[in-house]
Amino acid sequence: MNEIHRGTSLKLDVQRLTALWGFSEAALGGILHILKVPLTGLLIGGAAVFFISLIARYAESPSQILKSTLVVILIKAVVTPFIPLNSYFAVSLQGGLGYLFFRFIPSYRFSAILLGMITLSFSAFQKLFIITFMFGNAFWESIDSFVKFILAQLPLLNHLHTPSASLIIVSVYAAIHVIGGLYVGIKANRIDKWLERKTASFDINVLKNSPDNPIFEPRKHSKKRRWWQRKSGIIILTFSLILVILSYIFPQLGKSTSTNIFIMIIRSIAITLIWFKIISPFILKHFKKFIEKRKFEHASEVNKITAQFPAFKKVVNYCWNQSAEHAGVKRVYRFLSNSLALLLIIDLTNEQD
């Protein structure tokens, strides 16, 4: 029978926290993708900051963060072996910064907030850097040119100073991640009171008989798609095509617009091919050797953690069903909040028997 640990003296188990971090990295992202939740990367990164902060709080030494980081990387390699290299890099960076902050900064509160703000800001700028590297400055210049053209067609706005649309997009995107990191850091500091409030609100008796939902079953691996085969790539290509057509119809857009867009697309395709055909296979070959050696050394721990994933998925399914009375953003927030709290406080040991 499942049991909730009640009371103010709750001490979270480090192995459980490591398992939940591994679950969020290896499975939760797929679940959020299935549910079409926006800003999935922000949520997964925020969960990582949260679990690292709790590991630092309940572990005997900050060095446990590095040990947990390695285990999470191994879990990702076992459960989702086809993920890109930057995903492993993100986990390594989060764990490494977490160790440094909690090891050398005396204030736990400040360390948790700093970890959240820096790691999530890095996540945001990493994506922006990749876009700029792939498409060059022509991508942002095209956005500015398009927005200026649209505003120029509006009689009330054609005499106003046109702000840089690309700068606004970058600023808003970065601000969302910084605020998200601040929120997660503050929440990690208030975990005790938050869990006490959440514990009182759960009726766990129905969880034991909660039916499994096939929506949360792991997806079959599909071949890695290039950027132009993804939704974001299709949007960029469509936007580029529209801008090329407009540049011929309306000369005020600039004669060089279409040329810049063609160069931008050719550049991105060339970089993609070089990465997937030359650089990535070389790095993966050596990285897999490292992973295989470490998997053997930590096989028992990794197997013990991944064995808990079916029970974790059942809890997540229960929370999704319980949030059905809400809709939109409110349902997503209630679902994630209840899932996190219940996974932290419920005793699932008998679930594995």
Number of H helices, E strands in the chain: 15, 2
Residue 54 tokens, joined: 């709790």
pLDDT score for 247? 66
pLDDT score for 177? 92
| SS3 per residue for 161-199 | CCCCHHHHHHHHHHHHHHHHHHHHHHHHHCHHHHHHHHH
Instruction: Report pTM.
Output: 0.79
One-letter amino acid for residue 76 of the chain: K
CB 93 within 8 A of CB 52: no
CA atoms within 13 A on the CB side of 330: 4
Residue 349 tokens, joined: 């040991």
Domain, as residue range, for 262 = 3-352
Classify burial at 295, counting beta carbons within 10 Å of its beta carbon; exposed 0-12, middle 13-18, buried 19 or more. Answer: middle
CB 116 within 8 A of CB 184: yes
Distance CA 267, CA 132 (A): 11
Q: Please, which residues have CB within 8 angstroms of residue 322's CB and are 6 or more apart in sequence? A: 334, 338
One-letter amino acid for residue 50 of the chain: F
CB count, 10 Å around CB of 204? Answer: 18
Torsional sign, CA 156, 159, 161, 165: positive
CB 50 within 8 A of CB 188: yes
What averages of pLDDT result for each successive group of 10 residues across the chain (353 residues)? 41 87 86 77 90 92 94 88 80 94 94 94 86 79 75 62 77 91 90 77 56 54 56 70 68 66 79 80 79 80 88 85 84 86 71 46
Count structural domains, the chain.
1
The DSSP letter of residue 307 is T
How many residues does the structure list for the chain? 353
Distance CA 187, CA 225 (A): 36
Torsional sign, CA 118, 23, 38, 207: negative
pLDDT score for 334? 86
What is the DSSP secondary-structure string of 71-99?
HHHHHHHHH-TT--HHHHHHHHHHHHHHH
CB count, 10 Å around CB of 302? Answer: 21
